[in-house]
Structure formats: structure tokens, C-alpha cells
Structure 1
């Protein structure tokens, strides 16, 4: 992704998309973790929170609709979103 950043602007040239990271190569697990950003995902990995779960990183809450097709078939979906209006709205869309 071509990032454009300085002290006044944070953005990118290309459209943002989700990242889907299956844990095992032999098929999806029963559990999926959804993160708002990549740093949140790396923090969870470091803390050992998501061991064995497939992962979706939204890279922006505006991508929540792109994640929905990937979430079908999981028995457990854990959402690790920011506790702000955008995160709460994204959670409401995922649970609807």
C-alpha cells in the first residue's frame, strides 16, 4: 500500500481493503478474530490473545461490509474494535 503521511495528513493512494489471515492451511478454524487495525492485531499476537483463530483486519471500519462474507461459517467471532463511535457502529453492523 502506498502510504502518504506527514504531520498534517495520513492517507494512502490505493483503496483500503481487508486482510484475511487463515490460521491453518488445511481449512478455516471455528473461530475468527476481527481487528480494526493492523497494530491492534500485532498487539494481540504479542499478548497471545488470538492463538489458533483465523483473523480479519479491517484496516478501516468502512470496510466492515467486505468482511461479512468471510465470517459466514464461524461458530465464534471475536471483535477487537476501538471503543469509539466508529467501532461501536462497526460492531452493530457485524452483529445485525
Structure 2
């Protein structure tokens, strides 16, 4: 892929000279390394697996946080002097 002089100038105007140089270096280094459809599908499958693993991790963390909140509420209730007074009053 070759960029025309006008295209390069448009990039420089929009992004700046340094960013344009970086983009041009990436384009130049990636010549001849086009991804095949199989490569894209493989990457898509790996990405789905990664997302599924992250979702599972998030679900486990949600359960742990809920348990910690419940335990904290029980501990607060058990050691609260107001609860003891309420229990005496309820008898």
C-alpha cells in the first residue's frame, strides 16, 4: 500500500508530523503481511475465549463481593450496641 504525497500531507495536517511518521512506518513494515480469513477467524475465536474467561472471573468476583458485604453487615449487626438494646426490648 503506497500513500500519495497528498494523503501524507492530509495526515500531517490532521494528526501532526510525528503521528504521521509513526503511521507511515507501520504501513511500510506491514507490507506483504496481509491476514487471511482463517487468521481473522482464529483471532476472533481466541478473543471470544478470552472474553468468556473474563466474564467468568467477573461473576466470581461479584459473588465474592456480595459475600463480603453480607459478612460485614452480619458483623456490624452482631457487634452493634443498638442491636443488643433492640433485642432486649423485643423480649
TM band (smaller chain):
under 0.3
* Greater percentage in strand: 1
* Greater percentage in helix: 2
Asked which structure has the greater RCO (Cα within 8 Å, sep 6+), the reply is 1
User: Which one has the largest radius of gyration?
Assistant: 2
With normalisation by structure 1, the TM-score equals 0.20
